[in-house]
Amino acid sequence: MFSKRSIRRRFLFQLIVASAALVILFSSFLYLFIKQSIYDEKQAELITYAENISAYKSLLASQQNNADALMGLSVELLTLHTQEEHLDFYETIHRDKTTTLTLIYPFDFEHSSYLKVSRDITSTKRLLAKILNSIFLINAVGFVVIILYAIAFSKMLIAPISALTRRLANMNEHLIRPIKVEQLPDEFEPLGETLNRLMARIQNFVKYQKELFIGAAHELKTPLAVIKLKNQVTLIKKRSPEEYIEAIRITNKSVDEMNKIVADILNIGRQEGAQLEIPVEADIIQVLKKWEGDFALLAHSENKTLKAHFIPDSFMAVLQVTLLNQILQNFLQNALKFTPEGKNITFQSYLSDIGIVIEVIDEGCGIDESVDLFAPFKRQGNKSGVGLGLFLAKSAAEAIGAKITLTNREDGIDGSCARLVLPSKLCCVLPQR
């Protein structure tokens, strides 16, 4: 009915064991309590008989001629050589399956004489047996009811999960709808919120994939059209060698543009492979200093200045360093591309309540914040480029559990600020070994 990994199976097994133990303990304690109560009553009766005999020297006088109360009662006088005055009860089972309860009661301690008062309790034993059977029968029925209730209750507990499963099974990437968390039990709200966040990421992924395919087709179509048109014009009539060379040069330029697009698309595949790398512990500040050294020379060659300021001196994190390098490279390349000659680029880091913040601030033309620049093939300004850099950077940031933003400067200077926030506890996915 249930697999070994089934939660319901474990729940029902544990409930059956606990219920069985409870039934056995409850039945045993109840039976022992009833039995002890009846035996206490019988012993009290025998003590009363013995006390009356000792006081009145006559059994009939002690019972006011109540002959019915004396049924099954026998009294004997014994002589026992013992130095202690005490009461002694014991039970005897005879060959005819009858049972008697006997009391040894001091009668005349000076002459070592004792009363032996016995009573037939066979009917009482039979009554106790019936009570025991009734208790187990009632508890067995209750045990079955508990199991049936447990099955129904376990089904009720997993009903929200079953509903979520059916809801998700009927979805596809084109008809994803968020789950109404307010309709779920309180215990399942975190699961519903997590699934909604996951579906939002899937929607963004599908959206960007569509834009990527459409953009790639559009970007490749333009240089191909240029190549075809130029070749058609060239073939209309005979040309000079210089004109043929110029046509080939334009064709090669268009091919180079297509190569850039293909290379960036290949980088997307490489990045997905980098996400499967095993995260390693790395000093983020040392990684930043490496990129500072590389881009400081590039900035100087273009008559620009790269200013670096890193706080703290060290910040250890476990992540895929390849993905971090992709983000930093994109930030610095864009800043260097859009910053005019003679201007400055600021490369800095500092601590926040979340973790460490890395910023690359340029003095370029700024951005249009109403445009989603992280979508594929979105370009800003008149600089060359395919428009996949920020798309790759955001994908890399999501893979290591970081947050990436791109905003205009707020200090009154033209330019933009690319910011990466690395939490103290990164949420990167650990690959299976």
329: domain CATH number?
A: 3.30.565.10
Predicted pLDDT at 275? 55
| CATH code for the domain in which residue 264 is found | 1.10.287
**DSSP labels for 177-227?**
----GGGS-GGGHHHHHHHHHHHHHHHHHHHHHHHHHHHHHHHHHHHHHHH
Out of 231, 250, 274, pick the residue that ends a domain: 274
pLDDT band at 347 (very low <50, low <70, confident <90, very high): very high
Radius of gyration of the chain (CA): 46
Which pLDDT band, with edges at 50, 70 and 90, does 401 fall under? confident
Tell me, yes or no, whether 423 lies in a domain.
yes
Q: Dihedrals φ, ψ of 45, to 5°?
A: -65, -45
In a shared domain, residues 207 and 237: yes
Q: Which domain holds residue 313?
A: 275-433
* Whole-number Å distance between alpha carbons of 285 and 262: 33
Examine the fold and report which residue of 274, 298, 313 is the final residue of a domain before the chain moves on: 274
Phi/psi at 400 (5° precision) = -100, 5
**Claim to verify: residue 48 and residue 128 sit in the same structural domain:** yes
* Domain shared by 426 and 351, yes or no: yes
Residue where one domain finishes, among candidates 157, 186, 211? 157
Domain contains 1: no
Q: pLDDT of 165-199, one tens digit each?
A: 777 776 666 667 777 777 777 777 787 788 877 77
pLDDT of residue 373: 75
265 plus 287 within the same structural domain? no
Q: What is the mean pLDDT of the chain?
A: 78
Do residues 262 and 344 share a domain? no
Q: Report yes or no on whether pTM surpasses 0.75.
A: no
Distance, CA of 370 to CA of 424 (rounded, Å): 30
Residue 162 lies in a domain: no
CA-nearest of 172, 173, 190, 169 to 181 is: 190
Q: How far apart are CA 416 and CA 365, in angstroms?
A: 8
Asked if pLDDT for residue 63 goes beyond 50, the answer is no
Q: Which residue has the tokens 């490279």?
A: 329
Domain identity same for 134 and 23: yes
Tokens of 344: 């400055």
Answer whether residue 163 is part of any domain.
no
Residues 58 and 92 in one domain: yes
Lookup: tokens for 152: 């129904």
d(Cα 285, Cα 200) in Å, to the nearest integer? 33
Mean pLDDT across the stretch 383-406? 77
Element (H, E) at 282: strand 280-283
Alpha carbon distance 280, 277 (integer Å):
9
Distance (Å, whole) CA 33 – CA 37: 6
Token pair, residue 176, equals: 């994803």
* Domain total of the chain: 3
Strand order in the sheet with 355-361: 305-310, 344-351, 355-361, 416-423, 403-408
Question: Do 152 and 67 belong to one domain?
Answer: yes
| 261 falls within a domain | yes
In a domain, 117, yes or no: yes
Q: What is the DSSP letter of 341?
A: T
Identify whether 191 is part of a domain: yes
Is the residue at 164 inside a domain? no
Read off the pLDDT band of 414 (50, 70, 90). confident
Same domain membership, residue 230 and residue 107: no
Shared domain for 420 and 314, answered yes or no, is yes
Between 159-169 and 189-236, two packed helices, what is the crossing angle to 10 degrees?
10
Same domain, 402 and 374: yes
CA distances from 417 to 62, 390, 402 (A): 109, 13, 16
**Pair 211, 63 in one domain:** no
Read off the pLDDT of residues 127-147 as tens digits, 9 standing for 90 and up: 888 988 888 888 888 888 888
